[in-house]
Amino acid sequence: MPADVSAPRARLCLPLLALVALLFSACEGADDEDLEDGDASTSPHGPAPEGLGDDLTALLTYAVVGSGELGATTLHDAPDDLQDQQEDAPVHRRIWALARTIFASQIRWVHAFVVFTDGPDETLASVFQIHGEPAQWALAVDIADALDANGDVGGTDFTYTLVHELGHIIALNADQIPVDPELAANPEDPDLLDEKRAACSTFFIEEGCTRPEAFLNTYYEQFWSDLDEASAQIEDIDDDAAREDAIEAFYEANPDRFVTAYAASNITEDFAESWSYFVLRAEPEGDAEKDAKVLYFYDYPVLVAAREDILSSGAMTGMSALERGLRAPHPRRHRR
């Protein structure tokens, strides 16, 4: 029986705070080139979205409407020194333009764009299910990490992280894992999780029971059936530093099995990291398991098409290190 090897939902996906009821008012003029100043003074205030970590400061949330246009905004309480970043609508829109391009193949799942910060580095971006709407996802980005030294949106780490986050949406959307209303309403109930896991004949994760043909289920069967027990023990370590040390040791004991050390965190991070290598690097020629994990994605024409669309979009122009080897998002704290 597949074990649940992922982190608890609230950690995976940035904090799942109640994303305020977003006003999905149409905003026809909000295309990518529309960099006019936002009128933040007229936006309603609301609590930080549930799902964004308590250690991150939410600045504002845009509803994402239609085929990825930005709609109504909700301002979140933020200290005065972050007001400039909160009100910098032109930068928000440039960040969204990059994210929308990278997420194009999965944009139908993304219903909110959250701008947050924890200062430079640490968490760069995350995705999480919108509270009360588990088939809808929020993409959250740290505005402090989105600009490179030239003031351009992008850069290797940030762009890499967006591709990584896209991998989570590919694996966890409701077409892959049908929404289980009971689980969605009681995400922290261990007895319910045990009950649902026992009733699931495929790979089980907090979001629910994967379809037989789901990416995570086939990825589990090919690469994780002998790893989940060791990984689950690591995930049970409460102390963050000790757990990160254990993940590093797990990677160093299995360097041919993971594309990065961060991939050794759990199957969802492994999937997102292998996906990122699939998108951003040439087809591997080796025969190590980490190469097989990248080659796995070439078996799915829909993913090959998504890769080609990203690479031909111009979204990668900020990735100066592309051909010299990628830096993984490893030491930064990172939720799904």
Interacting residues with Zn ion (CB under 5 A): 269, 272, 336
CA dihedral 244, 249, 253, 259 (to 10 degrees): 30
Nearer to Zn ion, 69 or 165 (CB): 165
CB of 102 to Zn ion, least distance (A): 14
Angle (deg, nearest 10), helices 89-102 and 156-172 = 60
Nearer to Zn ion, 22 or 98 (CB): 98
CB of 222 to Zn ion, least distance (A): 20
Nearer to Zn ion, 62 or 275 (CB): 275
CB of 28 to Zn ion, least distance (A): 34
CB of 149 to Zn ion, least distance (A): 25
Nearer to Zn ion, 94 or 168 (CB): 168
CB of 75 to Zn ion, least distance (A): 27
Nearer to Zn ion, 168 or 257 (CB): 168
Nearer to Zn ion, 60 or 162 (CB): 162
CB of 320 to Zn ion, least distance (A): 23
Phi, psi of 280 (to 5 degrees): -100, -5
CB of 161 to Zn ion, least distance (A): 8
Nearer to Zn ion, 34 or 243 (CB): 243
CB of 106 to Zn ion, least distance (A): 15
Nearer to Zn ion, 70 or 112 (CB): 112
**Distances from the Cα of 177 to the Cα of 169, 173, 221, angstroms:** 11, 6, 16
Contact by Cβ (8 Å): 216, 204 = no
